[in-house]
Amino acid sequence: MAVSDHVDLPTFMEGVKKRNPHQPEFVQAVQEVAEDIFEFIGDKEDYHAQQILRRIAEPDRVVSFRVCWEDDAGNIRVQRGYRVQNNNAIGPYKGGIRFHPSVNESVLKFLAFEQTFKNALTGLPMGGGKGGSNFNPKGKSVREIMRFCQSFMTELYRHIGADVDVPAGDIGVGGREIGYMFGQYKRITNEFTGVLTGKGLEWGGSLIRTEATGYGAVYFLANMLATKGEDLVGKTAVISGSGNVATHAAEKIVQLGGKVLTLSDSGGFVHDPDGITQEKIDWVKTHKTHRRGRMQDYVAAFPGATFHEGKTPWGVPCDVALPCATQNELLGEDARTLVANGCRAVAEGANMPTDLDGVHVFKAARLLYAPGKASNAGGVAVSGLEMSQNSARRAWKEEELQQMLKDIMLGIHQSCLTYGDQGGGYIDYVKGANIAGRKKVADAMLAFGVV
Ligand code: NDP
Ligand code: 2IT
């Protein structure tokens, strides 16, 4: 008798929990996807017989390595580095690198799992991966960061390649860190290839990659509002985070006529009732990235704003909300508050910022709610376009790339409608994204047989 994974959801999740002890973020990400796709694949015996669900919830490989470096005081420091290569059924592994003290195997496995479906949704040929280290860039000198990046790449280089695995940035990794890592890769291999994305414009980078995640999230939000005949003009927005994704999401909201009320960091949030204008966003970018300052300093620069230490911004009444900081930053209670305050739409800039309770609250309230794998896919989409430009050894113009980004975000919105339209004017974007993203990967896996 053939073995099949045709079991019910609780039994399937029991197995996932058993095989991944002490990995709550990974289990959470699998559960969110499994909740949606169980119903969809109920009658598709091929998927069950081939154990596709079970195989998709197991990374191809997890590489873990020691990263030694010397700090400015001459102390030897030891960090742990990782690369999770989750799935390359539809293209080379692709996904960011995160430097943050909270990085561990569970966090990177969840990110690589999500990345696989996100990348499939873009329509570009990219598999899913993620990497990083528990290195904390806060308080480190630029030379310490350089030495760490070089040491990290001295091991990572053997696992990646332009047709194998193409990392990029994520939390704590921006253009500067990509530069140090690319320099080290080139030095070791003597090859100039598109092995990383998010590169500088002078050395193989793509226009609009820096802006793409935040801009794309707002394009997606605008697409959702358009289904109700609405736009962003005059709408108030609450945004968390103050890094790459948050500041560019804020910028696009302002460009499209909305008013941004909040930004935040791990110290708390700023509430500016006058609106966070382009000038103020530019100040935040410079302050956080170049001066490596804190959001609490905003109130001295812009009196009229208030700083709320240790708090998240979800209690500020708003029309739209964009969580753009980190995972599990918006809990069930916050979701209930947003709904009670009349929030119309939520688009995730971060990966899995809403916990499972919050996801259920948004679904029950039939909110316009986009999961990160759909709404934050603009960043990796332009990374995919950077790979194309590198392979073709050419560079597209800004207007061409802007249009491609808009088209890709519209395409993802359409995929969500195809699989998430519940009738009665309600679109379940989580379900739509989970089914559409997973279907492409699963069908490719079926074609390969048992590998
Ligand atoms: P940055 O490093 O540029 O900024 C991160 C921001 O989030 C900072 O404001 C940081 O505050 C805040 N933050 C980080 N960790 C925490 C925490 N534990 N609690 C509260 N605040 C926190 O990263 P990005 O903007 O690139 O990434 C933000 C999110 O977007 C992440 O979830 C990332 O995975 C996701 N993402 C990023 C993409 C990209 O292209 N960069 C693409 C798609 C998704 P502080 O300065 O205090 O640490
Ligand atoms: O989460 C993400 O999509 C990213 N950090 C960007 C990945 C990429 O390869 O551009």
On whether both 37 and 18 belong to a single domain, the answer is yes
**What residue owns the CA closest to ligand 2's atom 1?**
96
Catalytic residue status for 130? yes
Same domain, 268 and 350: yes
Residues 218 and 333 placed together within one structural domain of the fold: yes
Q: Which residues contact 156 (CB under 8 A, 6 or more apart)?
A: 65, 81, 83, 131, 167, 181
Is residue 412 included in any domain, yes or no? no
Do 67 and 42 share a structural domain?
A: no
Our count of domains for the chain comes to: 3
List the residue whose alpha carbon is closest to atom 43 of ligand 1.
Answer: 376
**Non-local CB neighbours of 321 within 8 Å, separated by 6+ positions:** 237, 238, 239, 314, 330, 338, 343, 345, 346, 347
Q: Which of 107, 380, 382 to mutate to test the pocket of ligand 2 (most atoms within 8 A of CB)?
A: 380
How far apart, in whole angstroms, are the C-alpha atoms of residue 61 and residue 160? 13
CB atoms inside a 10 Å sphere around CB 220: 26
Distance (Å, whole) CA 358 – CA 204: 40
Splitting the chain (451 residues) into consecutive groups of 10 residues, what average pLDDT does each group show? Answer: 68 96 98 89 83 93 98 98 98 98 98 98 98 97 98 98 98 98 98 98 98 98 98 98 98 98 98 98 94 94 97 98 98 98 98 98 98 98 98 97 98 98 97 95 94 88
Report the separation in Å between the CA atom of 168 and the middle of ligand 2, taken as the mean of its atom positions: 6
Q: E strands, 152-258, where?
A: 165-168, 236-239
The gap between the terminal CA atoms of the chain, to the nearest Å, is: 21
Q: How far is CA 205 from the centre of its chain?
A: 19
132 within ligand 1 shell (Cβ under 6 A):
no
- Among all chains, which residue has been given the structure tokens 């170049």? 290
Quote the pTM value.
0.97
Q: Is 95 in the pocket of ligand 2 (CB under 6 A)?
A: yes
Which atom of ligand 1 is closest in space to residue 247's alpha carbon? 25
Domain residue limits at 33:
9-56
For residues 92 and 283, give the distance between their C-alpha atoms in angstroms, rounded to a whole number: 38
Residues 123 and 244 in one domain: no
Starting from the CA of residue 214, give the closest ligand: 1
* Boundary residue ending a domain (370, 395, 419): 370
Which of 38, 56, 74 terminates a domain? The answer is: 56
Domain containing residue 127: CATH number: 3.40.50.10860
CA distance 22 to 9: 20
Indicate whether 226 and 289 sit together in one domain. Answer: yes
Is residue 382 assigned to a domain?
Answer: no
Query: Which atom of ligand 2 lies closest to the CA of 377?
Result: 3
Q: Are residues 175 and 239 in the same domain?
A: no
Q: How many CB atoms lie within 10 A of CB 417?
A: 15
Pocket test for ligand 1, best of 118, 133, 170, 382 (most atoms within 8 A of CB): 170
| Residue spans of alpha helices (H) in 21-134 | 24-41, 45-49, 52-56, 105-121
Same domain, 182 and 40: no
The whole-number pLDDT of residue 1 equals 41
Query: Which ranges constitute the DSSP H helices of 57-128?
Result: 105-121
Site to probe by mutation for ligand 1, drawn from 25, 111, 266 as the one with most ligand atoms within 8 Å of Cβ, is 266
Q: What pLDDT does 3 receive?
A: 52
- Of the ligands numbered here, which is closest to the C-alpha atom of 291? 1
Same domain, residue pair 214 and 363: yes
Return the ligand number nearest the Cα of 330: 1
pLDDT the model gives residue 37: 86
Predicted local confidence at residue 38, as pLDDT: 84
* Statement to judge: residues 216 and 365 lie in one domain: yes
Alpha-carbon gap, residue 394 to 381, rounded angstroms: 17
CB of 374 closer than 8 Å to CB of 219: no
Final residue belonging to a domain, choices 193, 219, 241: 193
How buried is 398 (Cβ within 10 angstroms: 0-12 exposed, 13-18 middle, 19+ buried)? Answer: exposed
Would you say residue 22 lies in a domain? yes
Q: Is there a domain that residue 438 lies in?
A: no
Q: How far apart are CA 115 and CA 112, in angstroms?
A: 5
Q: Is the CB of 385 under 6 A from ligand 2?
A: no
Ligand 2 atom closest to Cα of residue 95: 9
Residue of 109, 130, 363, 431 marked active site: 130
Same-domain check for residues 37 and 116: no
Same domain, 266 and 354: yes
Residue 14 domain-assigned (yes or no): yes
